[in-house]
């Protein structure tokens, strides 16, 4: 069995909830299922290492008091996921590597419309949002390519290495979350997609004793 907040649950304004009473009225019991397959292909020799993985999965939830009792995709229901990695050892010091990742977009809630309640004195009170189906919107797929080079030097006391590389080589603007852009009085509801990691060079030095 699974437990989740019911739709519209609000713990802050209710003093009974804050005192520890009636919290059961804010949650509902349900069920869920997860299934999938994973495949991995790996190839390795003296200089080269390569592997490809693929995951096909489905994760669903059902609660009597959520989404009209209908099944809905869980937020971690990432239907397809690929990972491709290749590394090559150039000599006893230098090595290169590249990694590409792809996964289906996450499922999220987006409001169909929203409006702002106004207090009796005319001041804005709070914003109410009306949602459609639970997790009915799917973000665009996530993918990125990372590359790196490593120099490694053995020492009597251990070894040290210097790494340099680039995250997100082709500057894919993967969406991490979406925020609403509501302008009171315009009756217009918009959204803004937020990306966090652009193309990003990096370097590091590691010492192993």
- Is residue 124's pLDDT more than 80? no
* Structure confidence at residue 9 as a pLDDT band (50, 70, 90): low
- Is residue 188's pLDDT more than 80? no
Token digits of residue 118: 């106004």
Higher pLDDT, 124 or 96: 96
pLDDT above 70 as % of the chain: 83
Mean pLDDT of the chain: 85
- Among residues 55, 54, 72, the alpha carbon closest in space to that of 63 is found at 72
Q: Are 28 and 8 in contact (CB under 8 A)?
A: no
Angle 69-75-80 (CA atoms, 0-180°, nearest 5)?
A: 115
CB atoms within 10 A of CB 106: 20
- Among residues 99, 38, 90, 27, the alpha carbon closest in space to that of 63 is found at 27
pLDDT tens, residue by residue, 25-46: 778 888 999 999 999 999 999 9
The whole-number pLDDT of residue 140 equals 93
- Is residue 16's pLDDT more than 50? no
CA dihedral 67, 69, 70, 74 (to 10 degrees): 60
Each domain of the chain, given as residue ranges in start order, spans 2-208
């Amino acid at each position: 069995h699974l437990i989740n907040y019911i739709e519209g649950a609000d713990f802050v304004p209710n003093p009974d909830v804050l005192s520890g009473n009636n919290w059961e009225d804010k949650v509902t019991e349900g069920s869920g299922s997860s299934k999938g397959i994973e495949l991995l292909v790996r190839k390795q020799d003296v200089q080269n290492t390569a592997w490809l993985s693929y995951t096909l999965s489905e994760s669903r939830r059902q609660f009597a008091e959520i989404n009209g009792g209908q099944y809905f995709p869980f937020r971690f229901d990432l239907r397809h996921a690929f990972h491709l990695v290749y590394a090559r050892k150039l000599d006893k010091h230098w090595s290169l590597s590249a990694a590409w990742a792809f996964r289906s977009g996450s499922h999220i809630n987006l409001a169909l419309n929203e409006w702002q309640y106004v207090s009796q004195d005319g001041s804005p009170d709070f914003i109410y949002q009306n949602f459609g189906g639970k997790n009915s919107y799917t973000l665009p797929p996530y993918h990125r390519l990372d590359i790196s080079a490593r120099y490694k030097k053995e020492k009597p006391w251990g070894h040290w290495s210097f790494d340099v590389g680039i995250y997100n080589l082709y500057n894919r603007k993967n969406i991490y979350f979406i925020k609403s852009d509501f302008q009171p009085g315009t009756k217009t509801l918009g959204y803004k997609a937020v990306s966090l990691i652009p193309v990003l060079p990096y370097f590091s030095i590691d010492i192993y004793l």
